[in-house]
Chain A
Amino acid sequence: MLFDSPMPFREAIESLLARDLLPTNMSSAELRGLGKSILDRSLFSARNHYTEILDQLKNELQTLLNPVTAVRPDGTPYTSGTDVASVRLRLRRSLEGLGYQAPEGKKGTIEDLASEPRLNLVIKTNQQIAQGYGYARQGQNADVLDEWPGQELVRLEERVVPRDDWDERWRAACQQAGDTLALGIYRDTGRMVARKDSGVWQALGDGAGGFDDTLGSPYEPFAFGSGMGTVDIDRAESVELGLIGEDEQVKAIPLNYALEVSE
């Protein structure tokens, strides 16, 4: 095993770069109504009409996703990159520079663009969307897909107050996608497993069952601040679960309109 400098997470960076800035006065609920074909192509934050801030956010996210090795004058290497706290500080200063004022009575809340909870949410959500896309895209390599045709929804990170409705979301997503196999496996085993080309993943990201806190993507983290994600299920286990036949092939599905669907 040879250690080296980091390699760019190409798929994650591409998904970020494909997003155009969408300054807007719309609320989260109004934005959801725009539909996947627009949202996949856009970098936005509810009620943030500052193009300069979104432009800065996009640049900062690129640096966050793609640290590179640099060398100090004394010859010692270090990572040239950034972290969430530094990005948060710079964005807050830019907002102050633009004369931004929090809405009356909302200072420090999620509705205040410069508050810590709001900036954390915006930075981490966009970072994780790009990484989630990258992980899912890499999982759709034809040979990888043949080896791991299924995936399972699991908790990857703990949360102080975890959502306790993932089972309900899963059942609703299976029903909306018409994935009776996944629903059957869930009823038999309690596991949230489906083929990678199942519509259940998009339905989960769309908030099937009436959930309005989702991100519209068929890949992790699925919902704002979620610690849920997917793990690959290999061919042998997928066959054992009855998800797929020995030689049945799973198709690569479009994950992002901006990158994979031409109109």
Chain B
Amino acid sequence: MALSYTFEGPRDLPVKQMAGDLAALSPEKVNPILARAASNHTRQHLFGLDSSRANLMGGRRSHFYGQAARSTQFGAAPDSFFVSIDHVGFRQRLEGGTIRPVKAKMLTIPATAEAYGHRAREFNNLRFALLKGIPALVQSTSQRIGYRRPKGSAKGSAAGKVTKGKVIPDKVMFWLARSVYQGPDPNVLPTEQDFDAVLSDRLDKYAARIEARQGRQTEGAE
């Protein structure tokens, strides 16, 4: 799931040293700046996670957090601004919860580095197997065979039937599950305190810059 988060504009921010009256700063001008600051902070945080949280199984990286960072953008209105992370799976990481399949009957959980970042259907050599009662998709080059003798036939009679037995897995590629619970991870986003600090700092800098510029313009006019 993707998400956006909305701030209610500069009125909510703890401002350290505001030059002049906050109301004098036009929200139409301030909000895009605060929105970009929040968006940049989020991007920076996510690229940081991309670098510190590689795929635990190893293998080719999907750069989930890097992609989330690139999907980060903002919008601003006179009374509020938002940052949106338009990336499938991000909200799930943040809030956690039970994942259920939407189209298929079962979820496929990568069991090896090779399977990570792939759909099971991308492999054309997977077979279903039950491994100690757990359903899985495996790569397999061998399978047990059975021999069923018809009732009443004599021992050694050739009239029996060869039957397919259990798949002997070479490698488990995916575990299958009807649902999976994922715990929440609030660390995938900067904290609200982080945002407050970044935004109030930006507002201070902006206000100071505008005040200084106005001062220079006044001096120039005199």
| Residues of A near any B CB (own CB < 8 A) | 1-12, 65-67, 69, 72, 77-79, 81-86, 88-89, 92, 116, 127-128, 131-132, 134-135, 138-139, 141, 143-144, 147-148, 156-158, 227, 231-232, 234-236, 246-247
Please tell me the size bucket of the interface on B.
35 or more
Chain A residues with CB under 8 A of B75: 7, 10
Contact indicator B118/A85 (Cβ below 8 Å): yes
How far is it, in angstroms, between the C-alpha of A212 and the C-alpha of B161 when the chains are bound? 64
Q: Does B4 lie within 8 Å of A141, measured CB to CB? A: no
| Residues of chain B with a CB closer than 8 A to A234's CB | 205
Q: Mark B102-146, 1 if CB is under 8 A from A, else 0.
A: 100000000000000111011000000000000000000000000
**Contacting pair A138 B86 (CB below 8 A):** no
In contact, B1 and A79 (Cβ under 8 angstroms): yes
**Residues on A with beta carbons closer than 8 Å to the beta carbon of B39:** 138
Check: B5 CB closer than 8 A to any chain A CB: yes
CB pair B6 A1 closer than 8 Å: yes
Residues of chain B within 8 A (CB-CB) of A247 are 213, 216
- Closest Cβ of chain A to B114, distance in Å, is 11
Q: Give B217's nearest chain A residue, CB to CB.
A: A247
Say whether A6 contacts B47, CB under 8 Å. Answer: no
Q: A69-B1, A86-B119, A89-B122 are in contact. Are A148 and B36 (CB under 8 A)?
A: yes
B67 to chain A, nearest CB (A): 8
Chain A: CB-nearest residue to B72:
A135
A158 to B61, CA, bound (A): 10
Binding site for A on B (CB under 8 A): 1-8, 29-30, 32-33, 36, 39-40, 44, 47, 50-51, 62-63, 66-67, 69-71, 73-75, 82, 84-89, 91-92, 100, 102, 117-119, 121-122, 192, 195, 202, 205-206, 209, 212-213, 216
Closest to A77 in B: B1
Number of A-B contacts (CB under 8 A): 135
Dominant secondary structure of chain A at its interface with chain B = mixed
Question: How far is it, in angstroms, between the C-alpha of A92 and the C-alpha of B122 when the chains are bound?
Answer: 9
Q: Find out whether the CB atom of A138 lies under 8 angstroms from the CB atom of B118.
A: no
Interface centre among B70, B74, B213 (most CB of A within 10 A): B70
How far does the alpha carbon of A157 sit from the alpha carbon of B67 in the complex, in Å? Answer: 10
Complex Cα gap A26–B87 (Å): 33
Contact in complex: B33, A85 (CB < 8 Å) = no
For this complex, 19 residue pairs linking A to B, each with C-beta atoms less than 8 Å apart, are A1-B192, A3-B4, A5-B2, A6-B4, A6-B85, A7-B4, A7-B73, A67-B86, A79-B89, A85-B119, A88-B119, A88-B122, A135-B70, A141-B36, A143-B33, A147-B209, A157-B50, A158-B50, A247-B213
Given contacts A1-B195, A81-B88, A156-B69, 16 further A-B contacts (CB under 8 A): A7-B86, A9-B73, A10-B75, A65-B86, A67-B88, A72-B100, A84-B117, A85-B118, A127-B67, A143-B29, A143-B30, A144-B36, A156-B47, A157-B51, A232-B40, A247-B213
B5/A78 in contact, CB under 8 A: no
Q: Measured between alpha carbons, how far is A208 from B51 in the docked complex, in Å?
A: 29
Residues in chain B near residue A84, CB distance under 8 A: 62, 117
Kindly identify which residue among B40, B66, B74 contacts A157, using a CB–CB cutoff of 8 Å: B66
CB pair B205 A236 closer than 8 Å: yes
Instruction: Please give, as numbers and ranges, the residues of chain A lying within 8 Å of B212 by CB-CB distance.
Output: 246
A99→B174 CA distance, assembly (Å): 30
A4 touches B121 (CB 8 A): no
Q: Which residue of B lies closest to A154 (CB)?
A: B47
Could you tell me if A5 and B4 are in contact, using CB atoms closer than 8 angstroms?
Answer: yes
Contact A231 B40 (CB under 8 A): yes
Q: Distance (Å) between the CB of A13 and the closest chain B CB?
A: 9
List, in ascending order, chain B residues with CB within 8 A of A134's CB: 73
Chain A residues with CB below 8 A from B40, complex form = 231-232
Report how far A10 CA is from B76 CA in the complex, Å: 13
A97 to chain B, nearest CB (A): 15
A89–B89 CB distance below 8 A: no
Q: Which residue of B lies closest to A4 (CB)?
A: B4
